[in-house]
Amino acid sequence: MALTHATVPDAMMWGWHDGMWNDGHMAGWGSWGWGMMLFGLLWMALLVAVPLGFIYWLGTRSQSNGHADDSALAVLQERYARGEIDDEEFDRRRARLTPDDGQ
């Protein structure tokens, strides 16, 4: 029995008193624990939200540019159909709105 006590260090020797889980740093979450967890969740949300937001922005930007060109040509055609502009004005504006195929 003396040999056993001599080779196994006592918890009191290391200053653990009631053990690491009761009075030590693992006693509970505390305010620092919850703050660290919320900070980690914030960073994880940012790591997911920023790339998804960027992809969404790229997708909506490319769709809106194409739609704006089509709507301008549609407005021009409506104005021509109502008689607000003549043939020469319609042809000149349509040439500016449509891309040149030859170049």
For the chain, which residues make up each domain, given as ranges?
A: 2-97
What percent of the chain shows pLDDT beyond 90? 35
pLDDT above 50: residue 102: no
Tokens matching residue 84: 């607000």
Distances 8 to 17, 33, 38, 49 between C-alpha atoms, Å: 16, 33, 40, 52
Inform me whether the pLDDT recorded for 78 exceeds 50: yes
Structure-token match 């021509």, residue found = 80
More confident residue, 58 or 14: 58
> 5-53 pLDDT, tens per residue?
555 555 555 554 554 555 555 555 566 777 888 899 999 999 999 999 9
